[in-house]
Amino acid sequence: MTYLWEAFMKKKMSAIWGVVFLLLTGCATSGDLKKVDNKLLTLRTEFEAARVEQKKLKRNVKELTTQLKKLNAVFSSFRKKGRYNFANIGTKMDELRTLHQKLLGDFERLKQLRKEDKEKFEKLFKSYASRFGDPTATSADGQVQIQVVSPKAAYDAAKALFDAGKFNESRDHMKQFIKKYPEHDLTDEAYILLGDSYYQLRKYFDAIISYNNVRKKFAKGDKVDVALLKLGEAHYKIGACPEGKAFLRRLLRRFRSSTHATKARRLYRGSRRYCRKRR
């Protein structure tokens, strides 16, 4: 404020002394006086604008000071209540680091166990192949051929492939088994496994055909209840909900004491949940 006033006064005094000089020398005219008045008016206007701006600055400074006081009070309150307990934060970080290291260790152990399981499986597979032949061997035309010496070994080979997630190979083995041993005691189970292979490959219509063969060709066998359950599931997958429920209902009526009755009952009652409707 003082600085602005001093600057204004310097300009004003300069203008006044100019007028005095002109009057003393007798050279001042009415036009000169008018120019001086205009200059004084301009200076007064500039001074008023500067004073208004200074008031705004003082008000802003006051507001900032108030805000800083509030922030300081809030920070002091937080510090007293312990909300910024940096020691606790450091402790939590250490705990997280320890947990991270533990998880890494667990992951490495699981990785090692998986490697060991794989080695065991390969060892068993080689042992089996040395006794009965390689179950994954193919002929010159690319067709899978069963090179085992007994129906039981052939079935076990296909089952091992299925358990290993090799569903295409398991399917081919079962098809050859069924073709070679159509009346064997394991053939109904082979149809079930063939259907399961198709099911895993999402070929549900082929799976239904395979399960139906158990129901029709081995009606007096002990795998009919399994076939009915899987027929219900496969029909659910293709959106044939009424047909699926019909097979499940048949299982529940004929095989009430079956170990598969509980699952069949759950699927039957939850058809709206489990059955994917046709679009």
Q: Residue ranges of the domains in the chain?
A: 2-81, 87-132, 138-274
Question: Is the pLDDT assigned to residue 279 strictly greater than 60?
Answer: no
Rounded Cα gap, residues 15 and 19, in angstroms:
6
Nearest-angstrom CA–CA distance, 26 and 243: 124
What is the CA 259 to chain-centroid distance, rounded? 37
Q: Does this model's pTM top 0.75?
A: no
Angle between helices 86-132 and 151-163 (to 10 degrees): 160
State which of 85-99, 121-135, 167-181 shows the largest mean pLDDT.
167-181
Specify the amino acid at residue 72. N
Of the candidates 123, 168, 128, the one whose C-alpha atom is nearest the C-alpha of residue 147 is 128
| Contact residues for 32 (Cβ-Cβ < 8 A; gap 6+) | 19, 22
**pLDDT tens readout for residues 194-248:** 999 999 999 999 999 999 999 999 988 889 999 999 999 999 999 888 998 999 9
Nearest to 176 by CA among 138, 212, 223: 138
CA R_g for the chain: 48
Mean pLDDT of 155-179: 93
What share of the chain has pLDDT > 70, as a percent?
A: 68
pLDDT band for position 107 (50/70/90)?
confident
Retrieve residue 15's tokens.
Answer: 């203008």
**Residue-wise pLDDT tens digits, 65-80:** 777 777 777 767 766 6
Contact between 240 and 206 (Cβ < 8 Å): no
Identify the weakest region by mean pLDDT among 24-28, 105-109, 179-183: 24-28
Return the bridge partners of 144, or none: 138
Single-letter code of the amino acid located at 258: S
The rounded mean pLDDT for the chain is 77
The letter for the amino acid at 255 is F
CATH classification for the domain delimited by 138-274, as one of 3.40.30.120, 1.10.540.10, 3.30.1490.190, 1.25.40.10: 1.25.40.10
Please indicate whether residue 188 or residue 143 has the higher confidence score (pLDDT).
188
Cα dihedral: 232, 221, 149, 141 (round 10): -40
Per-residue pLDDT at 194: 95
Residue-wise pLDDT for 120-142, tens only, equals 777 766 666 655 556 555 555 65
Residues ≥6 apart with Cβ < 8 Å to 268: 232, 245, 248, 249, 252
For the chain, what's the residue count? 279
More confident residue, 45 or 249: 249
Is the Cβ–Cβ distance between 232 and 248 less than 8 Å?
yes
Q: Is 263 helix (H, G, I), strand (E, B) or coil?
A: helix
- Please tell me the distance from the alpha carbon of residue 46 to that of residue 74, in angstroms, as a whole number: 42
- State pLDDT tens for residues 32-68: 556 655 666 676 677 677 777 777 777 777 777 777 7
- Looking at residue 79, its pLDDT comes to 65
Q: Model confidence at 188, in pLDDT bands (50, 70, 90)? A: very high
